[in-house]
Amino acid sequence: MTETVARQWLAQDPDPETRCELEALLGDASRSEELAERFCGSLQFGTAGLRGVLGAGPMRMNRVLVQKVSAGLGNYLVANLTESRKRGVVIGYDGRHKSRIFAEDTAAILLGLGFKVYLSTFVVPTPVVAFGVTHFGAAAGVMVTASHNPPEYNGYKVYWENGAQIIPPQDTGIAAATNEVGSIETLSLGDLEAARSSGALVDIDDAMVRLYLDGVQRLALHPGLLAKTPLTVAYTAMHGVGARFVKAALENAGVASLHIEPLQEQPDGDFPTVAFPNPEEDGAMDLVFALAKKVNADLVLANDPDADRLAVALPAGNGYAMLSGDQVGVLLADYLLAEGPADDRRMVATTLVSSQLLGIMARERGVDYKTTLTGFKWIANAAIDARRDTNARFVMGYEEALGYSIGELVRDKDGVSAVALFCELAALAKSQGTTVGDRLDALYRSHGVFQTLQKSLVLPGADGKAQIAAHMQRFRDKPPTEIGGFVVVERHDLANGGMGLPASDVLVYFLEGNLRVIMRPSGTEPKLKCYYEVCEPVVDGEPVLSARERAATAVTVLSDAHQAMLA
């Protein structure tokens, strides 16, 4: 049965590389299990789209799947949005293997369905596509990227007409429409060059990028500050697409001393200098740290490969120390709320698995606050809802995995605007004779040290997926009464909703002593993700460092105890 389905797939595959790959699998009886795994189902819409390992078969990312999904997306748009063909779809791509051809396949399918298409002529950051959807008033957007996944991955991220990543029922509707698409041999492919000539295809070029960068510049709270306050910045694009855009944004802001790590500056889908192109991974920042020491940088900054995330490191001893996503998030929130306009109604948001500190800060300052499910699509839609329902201005939102959205320019996380605003924050601190670290310590002294930690069980393949489900079910069937000797005082299973949130495969445990444990399967990677948080008050007269050390010990003890329960 598997061989028959595989040969049907092979017959329609337009990609010589994946055709050869599949022919090799079909011709090798010893690889029958691998063949069966490729055809045991299909990649499913997770966080706003598809993501998977490149290769042949419906459980991989390839041209057949991209064309099917594009046809499904087009049919769903026609059925659900007025004048969707006329309004069109914005398409961009990053520097990963096959990204450009996937983007062009998407454009060809949508042109064949009668859509206007806005197609990037070069690699762009993910936030540029999100910006493009609202800028052009498009019906949807598609970004071909696998963000910070390993080199063998690629993905297909979808934006709705509001510029935010798709949420239910859009994701399930597109998936259902995709399932109705037969062989791609039956699909009409538009000719890109002919469409350019007719105006059906519009190139996203430097002019549109300048509009986006102008918007980033308008987010500044202290225009001109960076030109007056010398700031030395070391930056890496992590072999992604961010360098060109960050360089332009910081030049616009007035940063005169930007040093870009040359070995990681240009897009390269092989990611040759890093084992895993994620700034959070061990060793990924080594090259830019060496550069930072050489130039005596005030700040070390890194984008992930599609430049929608930002990592920050500060001087520490003889080197540099990374800030967590939560620390960057609350620092940006503190800066924007303290230095920005104090409208009658302001709103900030973060995800359930991020630190609880932002909510405390918001309540203290009389600012609206929203906790959402994991994924920036929920933050963006919460911001849109707040503007519609209460006319609250969205100040910022963040998620602990290094994602930040500043203002209403882009309805998604944006590593380029976050770079610009964090540099401004650092420059203000420097101009006042303090540091970014001092600002963070002030927050901790006021509210306590909120220490977070995230650990993941990596369980690839169909067996891994089953193991992840089994772990979640075991905790549901026999909920823990204590973790690491701390009594569970409150638990929430969000399978059917709860905590004011939509239904999601998430388990939340609040423990005595202001501790928290959260478990959830990743929507984009073969991981069971676990999140831990503790809070240690800073005693009067005590150095903040002492409380931070206590918090670091406590969160490690908590995580070790919980991880042992998963063994």
pLDDT of residue 343: 86
Beta bridge partners of 376: none
Q: Are residues 441 and 547 in the same domain?
A: no
β-pairing verdict for 117-120 and 89-93: parallel
CATH number of the domain within which 493 lies: 3.30.310
Domain boundary among 384, 413, 446: 446
CA pair distance 303, 287, nearest whole angstrom: 14
What are the CA-CA distances from residue 42 to residues 26, 62, 209, 375 (Å)? 19, 12, 35, 22
pLDDT of residue 523: 76
Residue 465: CB atoms within 10 A of its CB come to: 14
Q: Are residues 350 and 422 in the same domain?
A: yes
Q: Are residues 166 and 227 in the same domain?
A: no
DSSP annotation of 194: H
Contacts with 527 (C-beta within 8 Å, 6 or more apart), sequence order: 456, 457, 458, 459, 468, 521
Beta bridge partners of 49: 157
Q: Are residues 178 and 309 in the same domain?
A: no
> Are 226 and 424 contacting, i.e. CB atoms less than 8 angstroms apart?
yes
pLDDT of residue 46: 64
pLDDT of residue 4: 93
Q: Are residues 499 and 554 in the same domain?
A: yes
> Are 129 and 92 contacting, i.e. CB atoms less than 8 angstroms apart?
yes
Rg, the chain, Cα only: 24
Does 2 map to a domain? no
Q: Are residues 185 and 136 in the same domain?
A: yes
CA pair distance 415, 317, nearest whole angstrom: 27
Q: Which of 70, 84, 120, 147 is catalytic?
A: 147
Does 1 map to a domain? no
Q: Are residues 57 and 142 in the same domain?
A: yes
CA pair distance 364, 50, nearest whole angstrom: 39
Domain boundary among 417, 446, 475: 446
> Are 84 and 46 contacting, i.e. CB atoms less than 8 angstroms apart?
no
> Are 356 and 385 contacting, i.e. CB atoms less than 8 angstroms apart?
no
pLDDT of residue 206: 94
Q: Are residues 193 and 65 in the same domain?
A: yes
Domain total in the chain: 4
Q: Are residues 344 and 311 in the same domain?
A: no
Residue 252: CB atoms within 10 A of its CB come to: 17
> Are 151 and 276 contacting, i.e. CB atoms less than 8 angstroms apart?
no
Contacts with 158 (C-beta within 8 Å, 6 or more apart), sequence order: 48, 49, 73, 140, 141, 142, 165, 166, 170, 171, 174
Q: What distance lies between CA 458 and its chain's CA centroid?
A: 19
Beta bridge partners of 460: none
CATH number of the domain within which 175 lies: 3.40.120.10
| H helix count then E strand count, the chain | 20, 21
**Among 372, 407, 413, 406, which residue's Cα sits nearest to residue 387?**
407
Does 454 map to a domain? yes
> Are 510 and 503 contacting, i.e. CB atoms less than 8 angstroms apart?
no
| C-alpha dihedral (538, 543, 544, 549), degrees to nearest 10 | -100
CA pair distance 508, 401, nearest whole angstrom: 18
Q: Are residues 433 and 457 in the same domain?
A: no
Does 6 map to a domain? no
Q: What is the crossing angle of helices 126-136 and 206-218, to 10°?
A: 90
147 is catalytic: yes
> Are 87 and 161 contacting, i.e. CB atoms less than 8 angstroms apart?
yes
Does 32 map to a domain? no
CA pair distance 537, 547, nearest whole angstrom: 7
Q: Are residues 361 and 378 in the same domain?
A: yes
Does 562 map to a domain? yes
Contacts with 412 (C-beta within 8 Å, 6 or more apart), sequence order: 126, 127, 130, 159, 163, 164, 165, 308, 376, 377, 380, 405
Does 102 map to a domain? yes
pLDDT of residue 378: 96
Does 549 map to a domain? yes
β-pairing verdict for 346-351 and 527-536: unpaired
pLDDT of residue 45: 72
pLDDT per residue as tens, the chain (567 positions):
789 999 999 999 999 999 999 999 999 889 998 999 999 989 887 666 899 999 999 999 999 999 999 999 999 999 999 999 999 999 999 999 999 999 999 999 999 999 999 999 999 999 999 999 999 999 999 999 999 999 999 999 999 999 999 999 999 999 999 999 999 999 999 999 999 999 999 999 999 999 999 999 999 999 999 999 999 999 999 999 999 999 999 999 999 999 999 999 999 999 999 989 999 999 999 999 999 999 999 999 999 999 999 999 999 999 999 999 999 999 999 999 999 999 889 999 999 999 999 999 999 999 999 999 998 999 999 999 999 999 999 999 999 999 999 999 999 999 999 999 999 999 999 999 999 999 999 999 999 999 999 999 998 877 888 999 999 999 999 999 999 999 999 999 999 999 999 999 999 999 998 899 999 998 777 899 999 999 999 999 999 999 999 999 999 999 999 999 998
Q: Are residues 385 and 272 in the same domain?
A: no
Residue with tokens 């707040």: 386
Domain boundary among 393, 423, 446: 446
CA pair distance 220, 250, nearest whole angstrom: 11
User: Which letter, b or e, does each residue of 476-486 get, where b requires 16 or more Cβ atoms within 10 Å of its Cβ?
Assistant: eeeebeebbeb
CA pair distance 252, 89, nearest whole angstrom: 29
CA pair distance 187, 216, nearest whole angstrom: 40
Residues in the chain: 567
pLDDT of residue 243: 98
Question: For residue 349, what are the domain limits?
Answer: 326-446
DSSP annotation of 499: T
